[in-house]
Structure 1
Amino acid sequence: MSDTVTALVPDIDEVLVLLDHVEDPLVGYLQPVSGEENPDEEDWQMPQTLNVRAAEQAWRRILSVLPEPLTSHLRDRRDEEPVPGSYQLLTGAGYQRASLYPVTISRFDLAVMTNLLDHLRRALPTTRPADHRDLIEVLDQVADRRTDMDSHIGARRHTYTQADVVRELEVALDLLGGVDQDADAALLLEAIGTPQPGTTIELRGEQAEAYDRWTGSLIQKVARDRVDAALIRYTV
């Protein structure tokens, strides 16, 4: 088995923002406090089976392999036209759609993040293990922060729950887990190959249908409700 998997990551704002939010606030809030900056604060008591430093390093490595057209979003460089390394994707009657980019990701890093997800899932029920008590406190703080972040950007207000935070990580890892288990994603990867900067790729027939199904399913996962899903679909 290869040490890496190939995932397809779309140039869709709501998906890229989701990846960013896994790092900040979730992974960031899990980290130990700095003694010099916060002398009166105590570190979270994490389960012995959860290494939050390793999770931080793994997630940063995952973000580091995203291609320039995707990372430019995270650095607020969307005003550049064209974004370095980007290409155009057309479907149907020549309509431009959100481009898809193959990304090679370490299985080890995915395993580290999946271990984090497993711990967060165990922290949600009231029957959580005793050594997961601080994890639910972290999720509570992250949920409050995500609610504040939405309100500050003028979005329709959504009150995030601890389960919402876990769900965001689930969606992110499902997207990055590779195309092997998704026939539409595998078909799209074969059609796109390694897109060359400045070129145009057109999907037709089954490929265009697979694009609509795959992006539609992903939008349903990242959207907060039907109205949000419709708004995202309109821009993709």
Structure 2
Amino acid sequence: MITIAQRLLGPTNSVPTNTQATNSLTVREFFVDIPTQTSGLLEQIIPMYLYQQYADDSDLQAFVSTFNTLAQGYLSWFTDFYQATPLGVYTSANISGALLDWTATGIYNLPRPIIPVGSAQGEWDSTDWNTIAWGGLGGQLIGVSDDIYKRFLTWHLYRGDGFQMSAQWVKRRIARFAYGINGSDFDIGFLQYVNLSISAGRISATIPNTEPGKYLKALLQNNLMVVPFQVSISVNLL
């Protein structure tokens, strides 16, 4: 076991004991043993300490003790939580709600998608100016559930299919979104329910009319899903 004192001072036979003071510092808590790292994570904080001239102040001692307790609590929470479920593993049931948003946005820079829903008036330049009241189309914005959000993340983050786009690559991407619950991988048997047609850089996928399928169609229609720049992808529901 290596102590902080040994790291700072090097091997020596004159390292002060826990009741001695050096350079006006209270070393009772400073020269603590560094815990053995079995998990690769720091499990114990390096505690805060008082200068010797303040060591007899009970209020300051109470402050230092409370600070160390709170700091250890934060570290223990992160350590225990990370060992159970790393924050980056967004497919876990432990990652949900605001924590899922914080993790996906902070780590992957992929915020929860917002889908605009409303009635379209027609093709570009097919309606005269100033003929519709402001906000008259009555559209709305819809956020997606945690399940759909995790599927959205997996669409962008999954690397198991490789980086070379092909018909099979697109087919597996679509099947994974449609059948991978909470962003998990899918049973390969579900590939039979995804049919592709390709024409002049346009890929049209036909899948069963399920709730995830509806969201996939809406996300692609609103350009919220990143797709290979060489093609456009659309979804038809049976």
TM-score under structure 1 length normalisation: 0.22
Q: Which has the higher helix share?
A: 1
TM-score under structure 2 length normalisation: 0.22
Q: Which has the larger radius of gyration?
A: 2
Query: Relative contact order, CA 8 A, sep 6+: which one is greater?
Result: 1
